[in-house]
């Protein structure tokens, strides 16, 4: 059973240890999920995925209400549990200030439009970027909190995962097909799946005619920089409006070098997307 109540931190930690991931049920209300889902669909900047699938980049620059997902207390506690390091230094080891050990990497929309293809099996960065001739780290370097803003189930294209794959320490095969042991991270709108980068996972195919709308909040430890070319920083003007705890989690983004950029599309200035969505 990978579903736990949204305030059950110890149950979630136990499930993360055995299954490798966990779903927190109804961590925000269905009403909040619906409001944020509408906001995802009007955000301007997209990056393409498989057919019918789009990443909506840096949602915080579009709507600061996404902070309520990124700052969810249970999610932060689990991310800290998985990523933070020592807090007391020793004669042979430094410690980093506890308040800066956990950072927010991105808050991006994950939109599987009706009829979208299944995603490719992968582990989140930097696992695929590392030297694959050695076993991959047995600890996560990203913790991905995938918020379900519409219902996630097998038909709508819920995220797929392989329980126990956190022990494999190698990439999954490069396929979009079903793998033995796969499960769907099912949840009602407002639930969130916590998926550390040690896990094999992939988007499901959306077999309905309605979009499946998710938001990925990626957390990183203090010693990791901008990990992928499609991670974009929050702008300074927006950052200045954040409450102090959110500024602490995102301050590092202000210094990111964005010379390298992914394949980014501004739908508001793209003639092919006059209805607001790339097809």
Ligand X SMILES: O=C(O)CCC(=O)C(=O)O
Contact 124/197 with Cβ under 8 angstroms? yes
Identify which of residues 20 and 239 has a Cβ nearer to ligand X in the complex.
20
Smallest distance from the beta carbon of 162 to ligand X, in angstroms? 13
Q: How many residues bind ligand X (CB under 6 A)?
A: 11
Nearest to 195 by CA among 78, 106, 104: 78
To ligand X, the closest distance from the beta carbon of 16 in angstroms equals: 17
Cα angle at 199 between 54 and 186, to 5 degrees? 60
In the complex with ligand X, the residue whose CB is nearer, 58 or 202, is: 202
Nearer to ligand X, 52 or 221 (CB): 52
Please report which helix (H) or strand (E) contains residue 26, including its range. none
For ligand X, give the closer residue by CB, 79 or 239: 79
Contact indicator for 23, 193 with CB cutoff of 8 Å: yes
Nearer CB in complex with ligand X: 58/216: 216
Query: Which of 74, 156, 159, 206 is in the footprint of ligand X by CB under 6 A?
Result: 159
Q: How far is the CB of 146 from ligand X (least distance, A)?
A: 6
For the bound state, the minimum distance from the C-beta of residue 58 to ligand X, rounded and expressed in Å, comes to 14
Shorter beta-carbon distance to ligand X: residue 56 or 242: 56
The rounded distance, in Å, linking the Cα atoms of 234 and 51 is 27
State yes or no: residue 148 binds ligand X (CB under 6 A): no
Tokens of 22: 């966990």
Q: Which of the residues 169 through 228 are near ligand X (CB under 6 A)?
A: 201-203, 214, 216
- Tell me the sheet residues that pair with 6: none
Whether 148 contacts 187, CB under 8 Å: yes
Q: Which two tokens stand for residue 215?
A: 């938001």
End-to-end CA distance of the chain: 36
| Residue 144 found at the interface with ligand X (CB under 6 A) | yes
* Nearest distance from C-beta of residue 229 to ligand X, angstroms: 15
Nearer to ligand X, 62 or 239 (CB): 62
**Cβ 191 vs Cβ 153: under 8 Å:** no
3-state SS assignment for residue 16: helix
84-143 binders of ligand X (CB under 6 A): 110, 119, 124
Least distance from C-beta 91 to ligand X, angstroms? Answer: 40
Q: Which residues contact 41 (CB under 8 A, 6 or more apart)?
A: 111, 211, 213, 276, 277
CB of 214 to ligand X, least distance (A): 5
**Whether the Cβ atoms of residue 122 and residue 201 lie closer than 8 Å to each other:** yes
Per CB under 6 A, residues contacting ligand X are: 110, 119, 124, 144, 146, 159, 201-203, 214, 216
């Amino acid at each position: 059973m990978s579903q736990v109540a949204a305030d059950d931190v110890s149950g979630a930690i136990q499930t993360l240890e055995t299954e490798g991931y966990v779903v927190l049920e109804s961590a925000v209300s269905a009403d909040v999920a619906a409001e944020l889902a509408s906001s995802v669909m009007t955000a301007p900047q997209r990056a393409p995925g498989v057919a019918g699938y789009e990443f909506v980049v840096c949602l915080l620059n579009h709507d600061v209400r996404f902070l309520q997902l990124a700052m969810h207390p249970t999610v932060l506690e689990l991310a800290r549990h998985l990523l933070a390091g020592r807090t007391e230094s020793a004669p042979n080891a430094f410690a980093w200030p506890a308040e800066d050990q956990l950072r927010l990497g991105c808050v991006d929309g994950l939109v599987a439009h009706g009829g979208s293809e299944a995603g490719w099996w992968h582990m989140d960065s930097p696992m695929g970027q590392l030297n694959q001739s050695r076993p991959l780290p047995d600890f996560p370097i990203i913790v991905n909190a995938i918020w379900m803003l519409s219902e996630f189930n097998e038909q709508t294209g819920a995220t797929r995962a392989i329980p126990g794959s956190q022990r494999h320490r190698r990439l999954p095969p490069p396929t979009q097909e079903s793998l033995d042991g796969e499960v769907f991270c099912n949840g009602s709108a407002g639930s969130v799946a916590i998926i550390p980068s040690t896990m094999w996972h992939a988007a499901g195919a959306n077999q309905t005619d309605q979009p499946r709308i998710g938001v990925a909040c990626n957390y990183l430890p203090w010693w990791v920089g901008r990990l992928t070319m499609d991670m974009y920083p929050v702008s300074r003007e927006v950052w200045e409006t954040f409450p102090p705890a959110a500024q602490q989690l995102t301050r590092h983004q202000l210094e990111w070098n964005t010379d390298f950029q992914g394949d980014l599309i501004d739908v508001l200035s793209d003639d092919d997307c006059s209805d607001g969505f790339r097809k």
